[in-house]
Amino acid sequence: MPPRNFRNIVRRSEYTGPTVGVCRGYAKANLAIIPKEYAFDFLLFCNRNPRPCPVLDVTDPGSPHPPLLAPEADLRTDLPKYRIYKDGELVAEPTDITDYWRDDLVAFLLGCAGSFDWVLQASNVRYRLIGAYTTNIQCYPAGRFHGHMVVTCRLIKGAHDAVRAIQISSRHPMMHGPPVHIGDPGVIGINDIYQPEVFFHRPISLQEPDEIAMFWGCGITPQAVAIEAKVPFMITHCPGHMFITDLLSEELSVM
């Protein structure tokens, strides 16, 4: 389905589920919306932490239309589910943020590793996408924004496919690029790989002997930052409910 058609379905509230497997081949984006007062600091935070927060597009203050990724889209209605944070507290998970919209809000669309999953699948890389975890990796602070990096885990089948996964994701720096960690999850503060904070597939079967745990930066990081830094007001996508852009994943890759 073309992204515009899918977004129209979402806009009519006919679909409120995850977007992990929709619109094959098209790039997904994570969302963070903040008041203009904090927009420069957040842009600086993203610039200093490109692995979890690669910036794809930024709207003008008060505009819900992403000019580079989908000019006709409306970020107030075109994601299946959102999260509203006030002073670091999650206060709502609406499917439409029109009532929360203000003229001073600036929307950031950040790259999503789910975009290169299409390429991994097309390349016959064998893997399981497990979930998302907050790590002990400290992000570089900017202004009031600080916190720990969130990562997603994929269990890659065998050394050959692990190397291919690194090569492929390295071609997608705007989608988090190569892994930030490979191997023992305890090194980055993950105590139990089978208990992610966000599940992508349930149930999770035990890691097999020839599977290699690989961890990529994740666009849920701004949500962890909103909580840790107690940001006065922030709107994000609900994990797994990303924005679907008009661009193919390969259009955002490098050779």
Residues 63, 138, single domain; the answer is no
Residue 29 three-state SS = strand
Does residue 51 contact residue 45 with C-beta atoms inside 8 Å? no
Residues 78, 31, single domain; the answer is yes
The CATH number for 46's domain is 3.40.1640.10
The CATH number for 160's domain is 3.30.2040.10
Alpha-carbon span 75 to 54, nearest angstrom: 18
Alpha-carbon span 85 to 40, nearest angstrom: 19
Predicted local confidence at residue 199, as pLDDT? 72
Residue 122 three-state SS = helix
pTM for this prediction = 0.93
Residues 7, 107, single domain; the answer is yes
Question: What's the chain's Rg over C-alpha atoms?
Answer: 17
Residues 8, 108, single domain; the answer is yes
Alpha carbon 140 to its chain centroid, in Å, reads 18
Cross-strand partners of 32: 108, 236
Residues 99, 16, single domain; the answer is yes
Q: What is the pLDDT of residues 141-169, one digit of tens each?
A: 999 999 999 999 999 999 999 999 999 99
Q: In which residue ranges of the chain is pLDDT below 70?
A: 200-202, 255
Residue 155 three-state SS = strand
DSSP letters for 185-249: GGGGT-S-TTS-SEESSSSPPPPPTTEEEEEEE-TTHHHHHHHHTT-SEEEEEPTT-PEEEEEEG
**Burial of 89 from C-beta contacts in 10 A (0-12 / 13-18 / 19+):** exposed
Residues 132, 202, single domain; the answer is yes
- Tokens, residue 85: 């944070």
Residues 16, 52, single domain; the answer is yes
Residues 6 or more apart whose CB falls under 8 angstroms from that of 32 comprise: 42, 107, 108, 110, 222, 234, 235, 236
**Burial of 235 from C-beta contacts in 10 A (0-12 / 13-18 / 19+):** buried
End-to-end CA distance of the chain: 27
Residues 237, 196, single domain; the answer is no
Residues 9, 108, single domain; the answer is yes
Domains in the chain: how many in total? 2
Mean of all residue pLDDT scores within the chain: 94
| Full residue range of the structural domain in which residue 162 is found | 115-217
- Tokens, residue 11: 């806009």
Predicted local confidence at residue 205, as pLDDT? 82
Residues 163, 245, single domain; the answer is no
Residues 16, 99, single domain; the answer is yes
Residues 169, 190, single domain; the answer is yes
Alpha-carbon span 131 to 209, nearest angstrom: 19
Alpha-carbon span 249 to 115, nearest angstrom: 6
